[in-house]
Structure 1
Amino acid sequence: MGQTARVSAFVWIAAASLAAWLWLLLCQGFFWRTDVRLPPLGNPLAGDPPEWPSVCVVVPARDEAVVLSSSLPSLLAQDYPGRAEVFLVDDGSTDGTGELARELARRHGGLPLTVGSPGEPPAGWTGKLWAVRHGIALARARAPEYLLLTDADIAHAPDSLRALVAAARSGGFDVVSQMARLRVESLWERLVVPAFVYFFAQLYPFRRIGRPGTRTAAAAGGCVLLRADTAERARIPDAIRHAVIDDVALARAVKGGGGHIWLGLAEQVDSVRSYPRLHDLWRMVSRSAYAQLRHSLLLLAGTVAGLALVYLVPPVAVVVGLVAANPAAAVLGALAWLVMAGTYVPMLLYYRQPLWLAPLLPFTAFLYLLMTVDSAVQHHRGRGAAWKGRTYARPDAVPDEG
């Protein structure tokens, strides 16, 4: 009797998982679609502005000599009809990042490059945002209309800046951001990276972000084109100076002030950073996962339960149903698993990955669950949000400025 009750209860759990997947499929902003992209240049929707505005590119960089040779020349080589220049901010590097940047500019030419250094960040600032603040201050002397905030590991196609500005002008956007196509070569990158973008889109459906009147706001920190006057009104980056997940905080600050933002997948913006080992990917995710949950144990518990219900229950239901000869559990689990895998296929196609990876999404979700729990453990041990030799306090532990 007890065994029958347990199996019946699992049928209801499997049914709840299927219901959750049907809701995600139809009611979560069609997050699984990958067609939110910048219109190509020459398209009437992205028509050239009558006059190309000036742009300053700000690149915060800390110990990035390994990737800089693959990324910085692409910025210097931008084919942009208006005035543009690059400001690379060396954030206390010990590997010669600043010197390498100057050498690359001498060797490749192109857009003017200024290398600055802000010194160590004061209390309450993350290193990246302190560097961004310094770069924006240098750029303001040029009075640009737009700022392009881009990471040191991001390579841009020659017409990337033109496409960003054209989209911002034609769409009336204060922020245009692209989720750079991350590197996917090693086995672990194939398993984890497309899922990382998939989970991000599930949390922040791109279609909702670009829709005025919605509360959903996010950006991708590797490529953010921002109106300079919008940055000033929203007090960027001062207003978000302690944010570990700075791109989402920036988007919320702009949208909360009435700004219009857009986020989509990139066609001509690529990350050149490699994450060949699981350990590398684990650190990338776990350093900010608990911050995403606002350092709340209650939200952590809810997230773990939600991940288990949505991603782990379907394959477990199939196994339990087959072992216990309960076709209802097996069928419900298989249907939920099928919907899950189907929603993952467009992201795998975008990343040009084999479709046999789609049924493995529960395994990848389990890895993310463990990474999230590890992020909380490291935080409560005093080692949370650590990156490149710095550990950041939770925002409510940082004294506010008067």
Structure 2
Amino acid sequence: MAKPPDAQPGVSYVMPVLNEVEHIEAAIDSLIAQDYEGQFEVVLALGPSVDGTNDVIAAMAEVDPRIRRIPNELGSTPGGLNAAIRASTHPVVVRVDAHSVLPPDYTRIAVATLIATGADNVGGIMKAVGETSFEKAVAHAYGSPEGLGGTQHHVGGKAGPADTAYLGVFKRDRLVEVGLFDEGIKRGQDWELNRRLRATGGTVWFTPELTVVYRPRSSLRKLIRQFVATGMWRGELARRFGTANGLRYFVPPLAVLGIVATLILGIVGLATGVTVLALAFVVPALYLLVVLAASVRAARNGVGTGLWYLIVLPCIHFGWGIGFLLGFLKLTGITERTGR
């Protein structure tokens, strides 16, 4: 039977999952609770989780047959996304992160925007929300100029064409046409995919009407690992595509090099009695003042948040910056093989 002309297109939510027992139930529940009137399915590409994540998903799938599970044989984010997209059955693909919680109107607004604009991909704002003082400090960094730069997909902006979009609601046929996600890029694969969509005449559309709650990493160790890995792959993209990747991504590695270099010069100056070299301490001192001032502002969200910010902000800067240098110098593969 032919569907009526005003019927909403079916939607496939795709999500790679690995060791997300803390967040996976809330993420899936937010998909089931969407007020979208079209058909939908949830396709989960499961990695070899060891924390009970897959058991939680199995129990949810028994209750709701719209939750489908497939293996993520590659174990990576792009590999899982591609496996889920290939297994999907609907014309609209909604990328979801296990750390994200979609508001009930997300799909309805996104699909309406996709149809109205003719875009290939629609995305909105990633609103980081923490529960503990540590997580609140990380969330503050996501939306602040001194943290991740305060870009539109963190703080909002005017609706219109964009270079990339957070998560993304895609036309499935266009994803297939451009070859899906590049499985050789472990992080930053969304920017690279959107680059290909735009290069083939498509449009990536940002709308502030879409807001997704994002849960930050829950420990300092997990945060550092996240930003070193993210920085490495952003450095890899910068090496491949140059400034087309965005000039602002070169700021953290240059800042890290500058701070480390001036710190070394200052130490040499003190050791040798060369006053001019000792003046190099001004640069790391200024950086410390910036961190202190930013932490005072972060303390408006609680004293504990402000104190954690003193640690979180440098860890983000240096983790991302060092990772970028490793990726830019083509050391990404070496660090992965050594498990670091």
Q: Please report the TM-score for the alignment, with normalisation by the length of structure 1.
A: 0.59
Asked if 1:130 corresponds to 2:79, the answer is yes
Confirm or deny: 8 A CA contact 2:35 2:105 kept in the other structure. Answer: yes
Counterpart residue identity of residue 320, structure 2 = T
Provide the rounded CA distance (Å) in 2 between the counterparts of 1:289 and 1:262: 25
CA deviation after TM superposition for structure 1 residue 164, in Å: 1.4
Confirm or deny: 8 A CA contact 2:124 2:207 kept in the other structure. Answer: yes
Provide the rounded CA distance (Å) in 2 between the counterparts of 1:149 and 1:250: 13
Provide the rounded CA distance (Å) in 1 between the counterparts of 2:177 and 2:45: 23
Asked if 1:85 corresponds to 2:28, the answer is no
| Equivalent residue, structure 1, for 2:318 | 370
| Equivalent residue, structure 1, for 2:95 | 149
Asked if 1:102 corresponds to 2:58, the answer is yes
CA deviation after TM superposition for structure 1 residue 226, in Å: 0.6
| Equivalent residue, structure 1, for 2:67 | 113
Provide the rounded CA distance (Å) in 1 between the counterparts of 2:41 and 2:14: 9
Provide the rounded CA distance (Å) in 1 between the counterparts of 2:320 and 2:208: 24
Task: Please give the secondary structure, in 2, of the residue aligned with 1:193.
Answer: helix
In 2 relative to 1, CA 243–256 (structure 1 residues): closer, same or farther, beyond 3 Å?
farther
In 2 relative to 1, CA 256–202 (structure 1 residues): closer, same or farther, beyond 3 Å?
farther
Asked if 1:281 corresponds to 2:261, the answer is no
1:292 is matched with which residue: 223, 227, 234? 234
Task: Please give the secondary structure, in 2, of the residue aligned with 1:57.
Answer: strand
CA deviation after TM superposition for structure 1 residue 150, in Å: 0.6
Counterpart residue identity of residue 19, structure 2 = D
CA deviation after TM superposition for structure 1 residue 205, in Å: 4.9
Provide the rounded CA distance (Å) in 2 between the counterparts of 1:254 and 1:277: 36
CA deviation after TM superposition for structure 1 residue 196, in Å: 2.7
1:234 is matched with which residue: 178, 185, 195? 178
CA deviation after TM superposition for structure 1 residue 181, in Å: 2.0
Provide the rounded CA distance (Å) in 2 between the counterparts of 1:116 and 1:188: 34
| Equivalent residue, structure 2, for 1:42 | none
Q: Please report the TM-score for the alignment, with normalisation by the length of structure 2.
A: 0.68
TM alignment of 1:103-252, pairs within 5 A: 103-107=59-63, 109=64, 112-119=66-73, 121=74, 127-139=76-88, 142=89, 144-198=90-144, 202=149, 205=152, 211-212=160-161, 217-220=163-166, 223-237=167-181, 239=182, 241-252=184-195
Counterpart residue identity of residue 138, structure 1 = A
User: How many residue pairs are counted as aligned between the two chains?
Assistant: 294
1:243-275 Cα deviation digits (max 9, x unpaired): 421222222221222211123557652234x53
Counterpart residue identity of residue 70, structure 2 = G
Confirm or deny: 8 A CA contact 2:158 2:207 kept in the other structure. Answer: no
1:22-73 Cα deviation digits (max 9, x unpaired): xxxxxxxxxxxxxxxxxxxxxxxxxxx9431111111111122332222212
Task: Please give the secondary structure, in 2, of the residue aligned with 1:131.
Answer: helix
In 2 relative to 1, CA 280–363 (structure 1 residues): closer, same or farther, beyond 3 Å?
closer
Task: Please give the secondary structure, in 2, of the residue aligned with 1:244.
Answer: coil
| Equivalent residue, structure 2, for 1:318 | none
Counterpart residue identity of residue 54, structure 1 = G
Counterpart residue identity of residue 219, structure 1 = A
Gap regions ≥5 residues in structure 1: 1-48, 311-328, 392-402
Task: Please give the secondary structure, in 2, of the residue aligned with 1:87.
Answer: strand
| Equivalent residue, structure 2, for 1:51 | 7
Shifted more, 360-369 versus 181-190: the winner is 360-369
In 2 relative to 1, CA 100–303 (structure 1 residues): closer, same or farther, beyond 3 Å?
closer
Provide the rounded CA distance (Å) in 1 between the counterparts of 2:209 and 2:157: 17
Provide the rounded CA distance (Å) in 2 between the counterparts of 1:66 and 1:162: 27
CA deviation after TM superposition for structure 1 residue 147, in Å: 0.4
CA deviation after TM superposition for structure 1 residue 365, in Å: 5.1
Confirm or deny: 8 A CA contact 2:110 2:122 kept in the other structure. Answer: yes
CA deviation after TM superposition for structure 1 residue 228, in Å: 0.8
Provide the rounded CA distance (Å) in 1 between the counterparts of 2:20 and 2:304: 35
Provide the rounded CA distance (Å) in 1 between the counterparts of 2:303 and 2:194: 33
Counterpart residue identity of residue 228, structure 1 = R
CA deviation after TM superposition for structure 1 residue 198, in Å: 3.9
Provide the rounded CA distance (Å) in 2 between the counterparts of 1:218 and 1:81: 27
Percent identity (aligned): 18
Shifted more, 53-62 versus 181-190: the winner is 181-190
Counterpart residue identity of residue 206, structure 2 = L
1:259 is matched with which residue: 191, 198, 202? 202
